[in-house]
Amino acid sequence: MEFIDLKAQYRASRELINTRINAVLEHGQYILGPEVAELEARLAAFTGARHCITVASGTEALLISLMALGLRPGDEVITTPFSFIATAEVIVLLGAVPVFVDIDPATCNIAPGLIEERITPRTRAIMPVSLYGQPADMEEINAIATRHKLAVIEDAAQSFGATYRGRRSCNLSTIGCTSFFPSKPLGCYGDGGALFTNDDAIAAAAREIRVHGQSRRYVHTRVGVGGRMDTLQCAIVLAKLERFEWEIAQRQRVADSYEALLSGRVQLVGQARDRTNVFAQYTVVVEERERVQAELHAAGIPTAVHYPVPMHLQPAYAHLSTADACPVASSMAARVLSLPMGPYLPEEEARQVAQALLRALRIPVPAVDVDPEALAPTAV
């Protein structure tokens, strides 16, 4: 069993992907070729955002967003400590200061009720993360930002495709950033990312920053980076987009299988009713995680921990706050465990994973009514 089965995903879209790759090899425009603009148009339409700018990675999307907002040394950005390190890293790289606000124990996303007390005259932006694939509490966060004239950047690296009150993740705030890292819900076969905005000035700035701050050939209007996503990776995402909505539905199917056996028995990450989840990770909360992980490993089931150490306790960031600054994040970091997830995980394997987890937790395994329909191969 694979934690995320990228090979099965490739096999399902092989013809489309190979055709797209070959087209790029034939036309030879490897940098900013026609697939780049085509993908940007498709993704803008998908999210409903006015602008999509593809960039070299999810990290680059976050960095370029902060640069486009004109973040300066000493500025503060409020964010969550419970994320991949890139979220805080880009803030520090620009000489600004990440201000860590604790998370909601139900969803593991930043707790909006704790944000306002951390706003100072130096605060410039709020950067929530839509963790595990579920959008953060964007309306509450946007309302705080509006009151204090702050920008909101959604780190949607894990949530591309999810919806919040009917709108797509990445189009929920000033800027939305996503990643096409291979194991993300919409992945390419290398590095890639994109940022989304409805603000024309921010979009224009981000386009220039992506190519070394160049407004015309060899005219560098601002300081930028080498931050393009290459044409081949854009072509791969275009091919994978064809099945993306179906894949999202399959991820939900796997989550439903897990929930059928685990709900009421194991602590799950909560799902808010007004939003959907693309399950970049399917995460449960357990005690004695190391033992549980070892027992699952012995049963042939791979697991992962996202993330074992919250950012406010990481050696390079610990000086920014006190060790007890975010107790909920610290507690969740010690207990979260991600299970195998992906659109191609068979129903039967999901059931095996859930049963093995219950056994490892010494919880009685309920009898399952096997629905022959559910065991049949799922068609697109």
Ligand X SMILES: *Cc1c(COP(=O)(O)O)cnc(C)c1O
Binding site for ligand X (CB under 6 A): 57-59, 83-84, 86-87, 129, 155, 157-158, 179, 181, 191, 193
Write down the least CB distance from residue 371 to ligand X, Å. Answer: 34
Q: SS3 of 320, please?
A: helix
Cα separation, 234 vs 278, in Å, equals 21
257 versus 338: smaller Cβ distance to ligand X = 338
CB of 233 to ligand X, least distance (A): 11
Closer CB to ligand X, 80 or 123, in the complex: 80
Q: How far is the CB of 159 from ligand X (least distance, A)?
A: 9
Give the Cα separation of 343 and 5 in Å (integer). 8
Q: Are strands 76-79 and 51-55 parallel, antiparallel or unpaired?
A: unpaired
Closest CB to ligand X among 158 and 257?
Answer: 158
Asked if residue 155 lies in contact with residue 62, where contact means CB atoms within 8 angstroms, the answer is yes
DSSP secondary structure of 279-311: -SSEEEE-SSHHHHHHHHHHTT---B-S-SS-G
Task: Give the residue with the Cβ less far from ligand X, 157 or 339.
Answer: 157
CB nearer to ligand X: pick between 35 and 191: 191
At closest approach, how far in Å is the CB of 364 from ligand X?
35
Residue 288 backbone class (left: φ over 0; alpha: ψ -120 to 50; beta: rest): left
Q: Tell me the closest approach of the beta carbon of residue 187 to ligand X, in angstroms.
A: 9
Which residue has its beta carbon closest to ligand X?
Answer: 58
User: Nearest distance from residue 155's CB to ligand X, in Å?
Assistant: 5
Task: State the Cα–Cα distance between residues 213 and 70, nearest whole angstrom.
Answer: 13
Point out which residues pair with 235 in neighbouring strands: none
The smaller minimum CB distance to ligand X, of residues 158 and 171, is found at 158
Q: Phi and psi (nearest 5°) for 221?
A: -75, -25
